[in-house]
Amino acid sequence: MTVRPRSILGRRAPEAHSDPARTVERLAALLGAGVPASTCWRLLSEDTPDDPVLRAAADAAARGEPVADAISDSLPRLPSSERAAWSATAAGVAVASQAGAPLSDALRVVSERLASVAETGRETEIALAGPRMTTRLVLALPVLGILGSSLLGFDAWAALIGTPYGRIVGAAGVLLLILGALWSRALTRRAHPSAAAPGFSLELLAIAVRGGGALDAARRTVRRECDRHAVPIDEEAIDGCLRLAGRAGAPVSGLLRAEAALLRSVGAADDRRRAAALGVTLLLPLGACVLPAFMLLAVVPSIIAVATSTLSGF
Got the DSSP string for 194-213?
Answer: PSS-TTHHHHHHHHHHHTT-
What is residue 118's predicted lDDT score, i.e. its pLDDT? 77
- Alpha-carbon distance of 242 to 250, in angstroms, equals 10
Q: Please enumerate in sequence order all residues whose Cβ is within 8 A of that of 46, keeping only pairs 6 or more positions apart, or say none.
A: 8, 14
pTM for the structure as a whole: 0.70
Name which residue leads in pLDDT, 121 or 172: 172
What is residue 58's predicted lDDT score, i.e. its pLDDT? 93
Query: What burial class does residue 221 get, using C-beta atoms within 10 Å of its C-beta: 0-12 exposed, 13-18 middle, 19+ buried?
Result: buried
Question: What angle, rounded to 10 degrees, do the helices at 80-99 and 67-74 form?
Answer: 170
Name which residue leads in pLDDT, 111 or 7: 111
What is residue 184's predicted lDDT score, i.e. its pLDDT? 83
Amino acid (one-letter) located at 212: G
Tell me the CA distances in angstroms from 154 to 161, 302, 303, one per residue in order. Answer: 14, 6, 9
What number is the average pLDDT over the span 128-149? 73
Buried/exposed 9-44: b ≥16 CB within 10 Å, e otherwise:
eeeeebbeebbbbebbbbbbebbeeeeebbebbbbb
Is residue 9 situated within a structural domain?
A: no
- Of 28, 42, 293, 312, nearest in space to 162 by CA: 312
- Alpha-carbon distance of 152 to 142, in angstroms, equals 15
Instruction: Give the chain's domain count.
Output: 2
Asked whether the beta carbons of 220 and 245 are under 8 A apart, the reply is no
Interval 171-211: pLDDT, tens: 888 898 889 888 888 887 777 666 556 788 998 999 898 88
* 154 and 80 part of one domain: no
What is residue 213's predicted lDDT score, i.e. its pLDDT? 76
The mean pLDDT value of the chain amounts to 80
Q: Please enumerate in sequence order all residues whose Cβ is within 8 A of that of 299, keeping only pairs 6 or more positions apart, or say none.
A: 145
Q: Alpha-carbon dihedral of residues 215, 218, 223, 227, nearest 10 degrees?
A: 180
Which one of 73, 102, 131 terminates a domain?
102
pLDDT at 81 over 80: no
* 75 and 124 part of one domain: no
Which one of 58, 87, 102 terminates a domain?
102
Is residue 71 situated within a structural domain?
A: yes
Which one of 87, 102, 117 terminates a domain?
102
Q: How confident is the model at residue 15 (pLDDT cuts 50, 70, 90)?
A: very low
* 152 and 240 part of one domain: yes
Is residue 10 situated within a structural domain?
A: no
In degrees and rounded to multiples of 5, residue 18 shows phi and psi of -100, 155
* Parent domain of 232: 103-313
- Sign of the Cα pseudo-torsion (44, 84, 229, 99, in order): negative
Q: Which of 46-50, 115-119, 159-163, 264-268 has the lowest mean pLDDT?
A: 159-163
The SS3 assignment for 34 reads: coil
pLDDT at 97 over 80: yes
Is residue 2 situated within a structural domain?
A: no
